[in-house]
Structure 1
Amino acid sequence: MSYVGRFAPSPSGPLHFGSLVAALGSYFQAKSQLGQWLVRIEDLDPPREMPGAASLILKAIEAYGLEWDGEVVYQSQRHHLYQQQIDQWLASGQAYLCQCTRKQIKAAGDFYLGTCRDKELTNRSECSVRLRMDHPVSSFIDLKHGEMTIPEALSREDFIIKRRDGLYAYNLAVVIDDIDQGVTEVVRGADLIEPTGRQISLYKTLNQAPVSYLHLPLAMDINGNKLSKQNHATAIDPNTPKPTLIKAMQFLGFKLPKDIADGRIDEIIHWGTKNWHIEQLPQQIEITPRFSNDAL
């Protein structure tokens, strides 16, 4: 099977250093194996999105020398696929409506106990939709870190695939899209290790072979917080990309020769593709770069 990878940012803000690391890691892994690298905009949650962010993200990807294959896919245009699968599962009993609120679940120990599993609720407008957890996954193999364990309680929970407010859940959408796009391997930040078990369980529920996974180290700020849009990470500069590109590649374990670091963006990316290997990645899950967030 030919390799298909992807980079799937959410448009809640422009790209920052941590998201550039994820983009580069997924790109180098795909291109080093002569595979395709897809870009998908995961615009599932309009209240959290920043107007114009999707366009800024695509422009930044181009400025940093990364060329995607095929057309950019937007999750906001794929709601019919998610709903179709949910309707099938509701009809078969694989999924069910749940009227429990977050407050009620928190009061029960912050874990859903299957309260509505056998109630046969019918009013969709006041309920979320949960998947019956028939294929719990408590561990998986990461290509860099080996066996990764997921908390037992989390692995057995009937989780939400459509929220009470009508928005589709990330876990459902990402798996349906990866299957539909033929993705064979997911390379992403280590902050998404925990949802991996639920995503593998969705593959099993759909009678599909799961993809393989590679989780990259997270860039942390000096206070120990993940560089993220929620933590107001500084946007990367698309106008002078080379300094940040070199720092991101060094973060991923590259040791760039001076003649390469002095070259053009396309030459640096080409060199990175030829010299990429998983073994170079740091063993740590979280790393604080040796430069300030403001310097990015």
Structure 2
Amino acid sequence: MEFNKRYELYLDYINEALEKVLVVMNTPEKTCYEAMRYSLMAGGKRIRPVLSLAVCDLFKKDFSEVISFACAIEMIHTYSLIHDDLPSMDNDDYRRGMLTNHKVYGEGLAILAGDALLNYAFEVMIEDILKSTHNMLMRVKAMGFIAKSSGVKGMIGGQVVDLQSEGKKVPLETLSYMHKCKTGAMIKAPVVSSAIICGADDSQISSLSTFAEKIGMAFQIKDDILDVEGDLSTLGKNSGSDVSNDKTTYTTAYGLDGAKKILEDVTNEAVGAIDCFGTEAEFLKDIALYIAKRIN
């Protein structure tokens, strides 16, 4: 219950910030703003910005220190979902229980809305840096980490490998690399960027990085399991898309039971990685368990 209350507190703070940061402008390109907000404000777990605030809490800093970066990461994540759902990618009709962006606004505008969210994310971070009266260098460093995590060395690179792997039985090393980049990088980004801004030392960042890598892997394994076991009513999107797209996943590579065992192992490794923070890290440990047990 304590975990749920704290999660809701973070969620309310994030949603309020997102409402303020992205307002529909009454200009000729108004429809693009509407398409951006359609996906950004469609709900969801907000796990990435929640991680940002949780790390901020770990170091006993005010949320205002990291909220712009947390919002930016959620915008980058949302743009990736819009593009991921396109017919040229996963060709999905539903996301979070709603029609996907291109089903509502058309493919062209969906692409532009995704592009706009990516660009706007960096506008938000740069504006935060420019108005900062302290810690400017660490904020720039954090933005650089987010840029790398979302780029060709991170999320986009993983998506490239994913596309090139369709219809093939890829080696397990490739599967691991793909998900470390595609999913893991943008789960690691909020953890590490928040730690940088909050003044964490190298040892603390190393422990948090390991934690983030493990929960990123857990998140993807659970996604693969849910693609087999879930349905539209719980997932908010159609299950079985990985099978229909002939993708190698943790479930096809290790079997359902094997994937569940790996999920249990990496979750335990994630929890162990942040033992050095003592009881202050209980919420982060609970997030690892939440990821492993989620139903959507």
Structure number with the bigger relative contact order (C-alpha 8 A, sep ≥ 6) is 1
TM-score w.r.t. structure 2 length? Answer: 0.26
Larger helix percent: 2
